[in-house]
Structure 1
């Protein structure tokens, strides 16, 4: 019954989920083609900071000392892989965005810097003289692995037609508050709306259609999707929906 419920639980489209993971993250693995030394011609992965602009293109600040900077200048083809919040293993979601990188024009740097520092406020080093600004300008394709059996290649057109999820910007504060102060309410909602009893349930992520949970029951840990009773289109909507669901679950227990 649980598996059947999870298969039909309301979720974002593959493209929207990929965009949400990228919007929510701030670190990923950038893969380039090595341009020198023993790495020349081989794919090379490095962990980088990034931020997403409004169009869904990742923006980066790279030092000339970083190995991936000359790689990109020699061959702009690259990919960025990002895991979903709370990623623990192969049953959790991750997305790879593939495209070509471009050095930003001077006229675009101010906007890119603002977006980047909003996501990465401690990255003061972007003002050092050896840093330059880049963006994955051309998106070629995306690949979402949403867990076991949920794998989808996403076309550039599908991906670029997405927008920012209306609740993504404050998902983390809401999740942190619920996990810290209302853990019992999350457990009660799982029992009432999903139909299973769990010892623990933690919000790992949320979007306009529902909550992504990590649950504990009988010594086992597993992921669980808890759909909202209606879509949430803003911060107040999320609060109202969660309050209504917790009250209903509490009254039914």
Structure 2
């Protein structure tokens, strides 16, 4: 848990660099949050290729999160994992910085709904809410498709398609709401749909 997994082409310079020296940093932020006032975290560690018996597992996780056409699903890409995390540095915007304790980070557990539900919950939620979410997210700009790709106790990440362009948008559930079950997720999403406006949207 909590160790990032990457998909790299063996032909890429960064892949060759990692094979020669596995030390690297990973900067994580919400898509579209590029300003200096927005939160981001930098993870320092060592990245190594996943064992052969874990490559297919990593591939399934990858295509579940990212839109991939049939011709793009394997190619010559290979999966890597940040095996050793040495430091974590969080920036919450101007004037907010902190080093995160690595041991504490590694002992944290994913939310109950993320562990117990997985792809089956997402399939069921998409069957119910994909079209209503598409309509909801088209209030300002028309979109062609919306699909839930992950869910946790605080909100859901939605892959949005506009023509050939894809991006990820984050919808937060109401403040103070802690979603743990499929039924609670349905109720939280239904509440957003009925309200007809997304107040907690990040993109």
Candidates 117, 127, 133, aligned match of 2:74? 127
Contact 2:133-2:193 at 8 Å conserved across structures: no
Per the normalisation by structure 2, the TM-score is 0.59
Matched, 1:82 2:28: yes
Q: How far apart, CA to CA, are the structure 2 residues paired with 1:246 and 1:82?
A: 29
Candidates 126, 130, 143, aligned match of 2:89? 143
Give the SS at the match of 1:72: helix
Give the SS at the match of 1:87: coil
Deviation at 1:242?
6.6
Give the SS at the match of 1:61: strand
Matched, 1:208 2:153: yes
Matched, 1:228 2:183: no
Deviation at 1:109?
1.5
Per the normalisation by structure 1, the TM-score is 0.49
Structure 1 equivalent of residue 143 of structure 2: none
Question: What is the root-mean-square deviation of aligned Cα atoms in Å?
Answer: 3.9
Deviation at 1:70?
1.2
Q: How far apart, CA to CA, are the structure 1 residues paired with 2:36 and 2:130?
A: 22
Structure 2 equivalent of residue 47 of structure 1: none
Where in structure 1 are there 5+ consecutive unaligned residues? 1-54, 185-205, 212-224, 249-253
Contact 1:229-1:241 at 8 Å conserved across structures: no
When residues 89 and 235 of structure 1 are mapped into structure 2, their CA distance, relative to the original with a 3 A threshold, is farther
Structure 2 equivalent of residue 100 of structure 1: 46
> Pairwise mapping of residues 1-253 of structure 1 onto structure 2 (< 5 A)?
55-122=1-68, 124-125=71-72, 127-128=74-75, 130-166=76-112, 180-181=135-136, 208-209=153-154, 228-241=175-188
Give the SS at the match of 1:135: strand
When residues 91 and 135 of structure 1 are mapped into structure 2, their CA distance, relative to the original with a 3 A threshold, is same
Give the SS at the match of 2:93: coil
Deviation at 1:67?
0.7
When residues 181 and 155 of structure 1 are mapped into structure 2, their CA distance, relative to the original with a 3 A threshold, is same
Question: Number of matched residues?
Answer: 159
When residues 75 and 179 of structure 1 are mapped into structure 2, their CA distance, relative to the original with a 3 A threshold, is same
Tell which deviates more after alignment, 153-162 or 73-82: 153-162
Deviation at 1:141?
1.9
Q: How far apart, CA to CA, are the structure 2 residues paired with 1:83 and 1:176?
A: 27
Deviation at 1:151?
2.5
Contact 1:61-1:126 at 8 Å conserved across structures: no
Where in structure 2 are there 5+ consecutive unaligned residues? 140-150, 157-171, 196-203
Contact 1:140-1:155 at 8 Å conserved across structures: no
Q: How far apart, CA to CA, are the structure 1 residues paired with 2:95 and 2:181?
A: 31
Q: How far apart, CA to CA, are the structure 2 residues paired with 1:64 and 1:242?
A: 41
